[in-house]
Chains A and B, each alone.
Chain A
Amino acid sequence: MLDIYGEQILELSRHPRHRGAIRKPSAASKDSNPLCGDEIEFQLLIGEDGKITDAKFSGQGCAISMASADLIANELIDKKLSSVKGFDKAAVFSLLGMHPGPSRVKCALLPLKVVKMAAYSKLGAQLTEKEAAME
């Protein structure tokens, strides 16, 4: 159970690399986890070549959600905006290096939902039911 608090998660939650705000974001989105009320905002800066040149998050959350947000931001920088569509929960768990277990899975997937909301607003896409439900 305590396996979810590995060194990487604890370190990222203490010292996130991509926490903050982008001065003029190309896309932004915000949502909260209805279970705990935690809120996360994601901002994306998108270059003319359709690549994500910067990604930042802000908000309050547990170690799992904060580490997940930081890893997602880190992963998406320099990737094509359109690649966010194929970026799924398995990729998030892989970045986290673990499956957070049923009681904490939404903590890990809220940042994914929010970053998808921001990206999809530019791509003209809709969240799937599972993406919206963080399942």
Chain B
Amino acid sequence: MFDATKIRGDFPILSRKVNGKRLVYLDNASTTQKPIQVINAISDYYSNSNANVHRGIHALSMEASGKFEESRRKTAAFIGASGASEIVFTKNATESLNLVANSLGSALGKGGVVVLSEMEHHSNIVPWQLVCREKKAELRFIPVKRDGTLDLAELDSLLEGAKIVSFAHVSNALGTINDVKKITNSAHKAGALVCIDGAQSVPHLPVGIAQLGSPDFMAFSAHKMLGPTGVGVLYGRKELLESMPPFLGGGDMIREVKLQSSMWNEVPHKFEAGTPDIAGVIAFGAALDYLKKLGMGRIRLHEGKLLKIALQLMGEIPGVSLYGPRSLELRGGVVSFNVEGIHPHDAASVLDSQGVAVRAGHHCAMPLMRKLGLGSTVRASFYAYNAPEEVEVLANAVKKAKAIFS
């Protein structure tokens, strides 16, 4: 187990004050803070190696390209991909999911079936709605139960005729950890391809493609795992990426361009049109190094410890409703809650006045909220650098909100 208080020193922002109080940053499911190693990697790139990648033969371009591709290899190793060519860099997980929906969706015929779950983030719903509307394909949803877990009782019949199944590994709104392996195996048996939204899992749990039953695609974001904003990842099985049409057109994604037609570059470059966020990708490599040093298994254990304290402390406060599975095994470091008689925005404002940063709202998962009969919730989400004392600050801030609104 690592000591969260020791690694906090690597995160400059964590020593600042907010509203006169020490910052307690519990909005990690939105975006995480960055260690100095990542911040320095951005600065170092622009100070010493800035050049466009995959274009020049001059020294700087070679150097930048080398570092850029090194990040790709690190990303592949981080999730156990077969090779670096299975890693496509995008601008965020949303773009990664749009890439899959559009490129894979182009082969959907009328009446084709796409299966999602009811707990998806809007980024794993809307792209599929767009493509299904255009292709006159059918959208189906794996239902969510009251306890915030997926209802897999009718899974096999839901999967009948499915071409694509896309769902979250971990729910951003509730923290529910879904049984990716089980659903992936069933989907593959039904002849469907599987896409995983890993935005909330890859940053927080040990994630290996093979261990998950080898889903065909997985999307995640650098900024939710200590890396900079502007970088997303799409893992895709190589044969599939090779057979799929490009998503965006432009430079770097082509081998040869004629006036009327073009030949595509090899994967993953076929899916990386235009100049990428080079500094961001290189700094993401530094984030992966940092996470590897901490150990994903240890991060998971640490967050589990924080979650246990949070569920206990919050559960003891009268009028606090907690949402999502109660089993720690089925849940990432997310605590979604409401306080009786206090609107989530008011609760979040009081928490903010105490230096506690949380998210309040529908968490870009309106269908899930509607299903659970909730307008919105307050969400606290943890990461490696959060200390147990910060959970106490959260609980005390909730008590303060209760006192104000009583």
Residues of A within 8 A of B (CB): 1-2, 4-5, 10, 35-38, 60-64, 103-104, 107
Q: Is B343 an interface residue (CB 8 A)?
A: yes
| B350: nearest chain-A partner, CB-CB | A2
* Binary flags per residue of B332-349, CB closer than 8 Å to A gives 1, else 0: 000000000011111001
Separation in Å of the A32 CB from the closest CB of chain B?
A: 10
Q: CB within 8 Å of A: which of B317-370? A: 342-346, 349-350, 352-353, 360-362, 366, 369
Extra contacts, 10 of them, besides A37-B369, A64-B346 (Cβ < 8 A), are A5-B346, A5-B349, A5-B350, A5-B405, A36-B361, A36-B362, A36-B376, A37-B361, A37-B376, A38-B345
Known: A36-B376, A37-B366, A38-B375. A10 touches B404 (CB 8 A): yes
- Pick from A1, A2, A37, A64: contact of B362, CB below 8 A: A37
Contact of B19 with A by CB under 8 A:
yes
- The reply to whether B376 and A5 form a contact with Cβ atoms under 8 Å apart is no
Chain B, residues 42-75, CB within 8 Å of chain A (1/0): the string is: 0000000000000000000000000000000000
Which residue of chain B is the closest to A63 with respect to CB atoms?
Answer: B346
Q: Is the CB of A37 within 8 A of B375?
A: yes
Q: How far is the CA of A4 from the CA of B343 in the complex (A)?
A: 14
Chain B CB within 10 Å — which of A10, A35, A63, A64 has the most?
A63
* Alpha-carbon gap, A80 to B63, bound state (A): 71
Given the contacts A10-B404, A37-B361, A61 and B349 also touching, CB distance less than 8 Å: no
- B→A interface (CB under 8 Å): 19, 342-346, 349-350, 352-353, 360-362, 366, 369, 375-376, 404-405
A-B contact pairs, 13 of them (CB 8 A): A1-B352, A2-B350, A5-B346, A5-B349, A10-B405, A36-B375, A37-B361, A37-B376, A38-B343, A60-B343, A62-B343, A64-B345, A107-B345
**What's the minimum C-beta distance from A94 to chain B, rounded to whole angstroms?**
21
6 A-B pairs with the lowest CB-CB distances in the bound complex, closest first: A62-B343, A1-B353, A62-B345, A62-B346, A63-B346, A2-B353
Chain A residues contacting B350 (CB-CB under 8 Å) are: 2, 5
Residues of chain B with a CB closer than 8 A to A104's CB: 345, 349
Measured CB to CB, the nearest residue on chain B to A36 is B361
Task: Kindly report which residue of chain A lies nearest to residue B361, judged by CB atoms.
Answer: A36
B19 with A1: CB separation less than 8 A? yes
Most buried by B among A35, A37, A103, A104: A37
* Contact (Cβ within 8 A) A5 B404: yes
B366: chain A residues within 8 A (beta carbon)? 37
A37 to B122: give the CA distance in the assembly, Å: 14
Q: How far is the CB of B357 from chain A (nearest CB, A)?
A: 11
Residues of A within 8 A of B346 (CB): 5, 62-64
Q: How far is the CA of A61 from the CA of B343 in the complex (A)?
A: 7
Residue pair B345, A36 in contact (C-beta under 8 Å): yes
Interchain CA distance A124-B19 in the complex, whole Å: 45
CB-contact partner of B361 in A4, A35, A64, under 8 A: A35
Measured CB to CB, the closest approach of chain A to B342, in angstroms, equals: 8
Q: Which residues of B contact A107 (CB under 8 A)?
A: 345
Contacts of A10 in B (CB 8 A): 404-405
Known contacts being A35-B361, A37-B366, is A2 close to B345, with CB within 8 Å?
no
Measured CB to CB, the closest approach of chain B to A64, in angstroms, equals 7
Neighbouring B residues of A5 by C-beta, 8 Å: 346, 349-350, 404-405
* Residue from the set B349, B353, B375 with the largest chain A CB neighbour count within 10 Å: B349
Q: Which residues of chain B have C-beta atoms less than 8 A from A37's C-beta?
A: 361-362, 366, 369, 375-376
C-alpha gap A60/B346 in the complex (Å)? 13
Q: A10-B405, A60-B375, A63-B343 are in contact. Are A36 and B349 (CB under 8 A)?
A: no
Q: Would B360 and A36 count as touching, CB distance under 8 A?
A: yes
- Give Cα A62–Cα B404 distance, bound, in whole angstroms: 14
Least Cβ distance of A60 to chain B in Å?
A: 6
Contact indicator B375/A103 (Cβ below 8 Å): no
| Most central of A38, A64, A103 by chain B CB within 10 Å | A38
Nearest opposing residue in chain B for A9, CB measure = B346
A63 to B350, CA, bound (A): 12
> Which among B19, B345, B369, B376 has the greatest number of chain A C-beta atoms within 10 A?
B345
